[in-house]
Structure 1
């Protein structure tokens, strides 16, 4: 399955154009005031690097990951054009030995390739990768996205709902959780009216857990 997925995403990113554009995700941009220079950030499944490169350009210490070697190659090229430095890793997130309590921020934008069981593992590992008090920034599509057809997964189970995210991150302090529709223009991959849901949450200090 991993080889098949890698081949799929390598094909998706094969061209010179950036499938999801070269500019950062709008939700992530809106969180700029929460992101301090020097903070260590993990960007999960960052594709061609648009979000990791933007974060590095703001002075954050960025690790960006993706399954696709082609995507990581393009992320490095984008970083070079923007004259920024970041660490790029080609990893299978399910098999990766995730760092623990290492990052100040974890960013996960449209990682809805993951069916429910894998999604649960990813969410748990994302939380564990954060230092106590660390910040999680997540955006995805709601089930209503299927009626728009402007991007996102074809599998109904891969979408997010407010109830799903509240349950998954019940052990965190939810700063904001917002479901809304908006026009987005992120390359040909995400273009048009979209059913979105955004989560900003903070991992509780160990003394507050339990």
Structure 2
């Protein structure tokens, strides 16, 4: 990492966990749907979701642009008696290997539209057959609530937009809803969110699937 700290490094450079130590409530509520195996957590920050999934027996790779956040994630994992892998990378440059993941998790991962669409195309290809994608993000209605999230509508998501960006996946759950978000000091209050659970078709990426599991 360069000597200059990024915005996210500065946000995470504090003794407390700014988004809390407990997992995202939506992810925890649907975690039984995740197949056992390899899970990729996007924009994982301080590691609360990655550690939760590792406790459930998954092999977890946490990716984030902030080395400071991921250092706290590794520390949280150690304190919790589990192991996670971490990669410091900008999601604009991170390549999701096709057919590699049993599940991919994206919790409040807000990116510029072109970058988000490119990432979601990789998500569709990155899941193994039957793999699960879980996402929760703020919708444009969040701007009126002012309880966290990005400052502009273009960085937010809608269910209709996600259905287009994730074409090829089966939507098991999908809704826009308001809920009470209590996740650390930076995400506390009423939130307008979109929540989805998608599944890759069985038989999709069969060749990749065989190569990924070959020993």
Tell me whether the two structures share a fold, i.e. TM-score over 0.5.
yes
Q: 1: distance between equivalents of 2:12 and 2:181?
A: 20
Kindly report which structure 2 residues correspond to 1:137-156, keeping only aligned pairs within 5 A, or say none: 137-156=134-153
Contact 1:110 1:141 in 2 (8 A): yes
Cα distance change of structure 1 residues 78 and 207 upon mapping to structure 2, 3 Å threshold: closer
Q: Alpha-carbon deviation of 1:84?
A: 0.4
Aligned residues between the structures: 204
SS at match of 1:74: helix
Cα distance change of structure 1 residues 187 and 207 upon mapping to structure 2, 3 Å threshold: closer
Which residue of 2 is the match for residue 165 of structure 1? Answer: 162
Q: 1: distance between equivalents of 2:133 and 2:205?
A: 19
SS at match of 2:18: coil
Unaligned runs of 5+ in 2: 207-215
Q: 2: distance between equivalents of 1:100 and 1:166?
A: 20
TM superposition score normalised by structure 2: 0.90
**Residue 180 of structure 1 is aligned with which of 177, 181, 192?**
177
SS at match of 1:140: strand
Q: 2: distance between equivalents of 1:129 and 1:166?
A: 17
Contact 1:132 1:203 in 2 (8 A): yes
TM superposition score normalised by structure 1: 0.92
Kindly report which structure 2 residues correspond to 1:110-129, keeping only aligned pairs within 5 A, or say none: 110-112=108-110, 114-129=111-126
Contact 1:41 1:62 in 2 (8 A): yes
Which residue of 2 is the match for residue 100 of structure 1? Answer: 98
Q: 1: distance between equivalents of 2:66 and 2:125?
A: 24
